């Protein structure tokens, strides 16, 4: 069995076990923690966990969506803080010469001009948000507006997902970008 197959099997078992606790008072804060870790590690299928949990506990969809959104925003802000703390020098050591390319300069200029809009658009979509967050951190977008945009975009995304899971679950199969996470979580 390949490592990825073992990983997927482990994730399915863990989520099946986790869903058994969806009615517990501590479950939404656990979702918050998992979403924060996912924003840093990119390995936890929080979309699938949110959807499956919301389907099981339909009356709690809004709290599940809000806790996942806040957790994702916290993890995103921690990632931005880490990039700011580590500094551009450490990143350039990982990718030497990348800052000398034309694409780098154009991207930083683009983020300086439209960074908040890009972060918002990435935040409401199923795209991986970490690259946009790293570029936002490097382009010196002010922290408070960036935090507000991240939180607002994540609330929209995750509350909408939880709502769809409880009110129109057949629509989930048509949502582009989350089929892999749904498969990982057994939905």
Q: What is the pTM of this model?
A: 0.79
pLDDT confidence of 138, banded at 50, 70, 90? confident
Domain holding 118, by residue range, is 3-185
Task: Please tell me the total count of domains within the chain.
Answer: 1
- In tens, the pLDDT along 156-169 reads 999 999 998 888 77
Cα–Cα distances (Å) from 93 to 31, 146, 150, in that order, read 35, 26, 28
Q: How far apart are CA 180 and CA 187, in angstroms?
A: 10
pLDDT confidence of 142, banded at 50, 70, 90? confident
- In tens, the pLDDT along 35-72 reads 999 888 777 788 888 888 888 888 889 999 999 999 99
Mean pLDDT, rounded, of the chain:
81
Asked if 84 contacts 101 with a C-beta cutoff of 8 angstroms, the reply is no
- In tens, the pLDDT along 74-127 reads 999 998 898 888 877 776 676 677 677 776 777 777 787 888 998 898 889 887
């Amino acid at each position: 069995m390949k490592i990825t197959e073992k990983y997927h099997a482990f994730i399915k078992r863990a989520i099946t076990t986790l869903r058994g606790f969806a009615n517990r008072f501590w479950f939404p804060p656990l979702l918050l923690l998992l979403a924060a870790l996912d924003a840093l590690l990119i390995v936890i299928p929080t979309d699938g966990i949110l959807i499956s949990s919301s389907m099981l506990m339909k009356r709690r969809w809004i709290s599940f969506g809000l806790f996942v959104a806040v957790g994702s925003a916290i993890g995103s802000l921690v990632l931005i803080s880490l990039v700011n703390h580590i500094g551009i020098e450490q990143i350039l050591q990982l990718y030497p010469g990348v800052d000398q390319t034309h694409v780098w300069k154009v991207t930083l200029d683009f983020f300086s001009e439209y960074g908040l809009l890009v972060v918002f658009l990435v935040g409401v979509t199923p795209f991986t948000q970490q690259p946009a967050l790293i570029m936002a951190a490097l382009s010196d977008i002010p922290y408070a507006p960036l935090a507000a945009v991240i939180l607002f975009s994540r609330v929209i995304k995750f509350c909408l997902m939880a709502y769809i899971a409880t009110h129109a679950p057949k629509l989930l199969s048509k949502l582009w970008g989350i089929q892999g996470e749904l498969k990982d979580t057994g939905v």
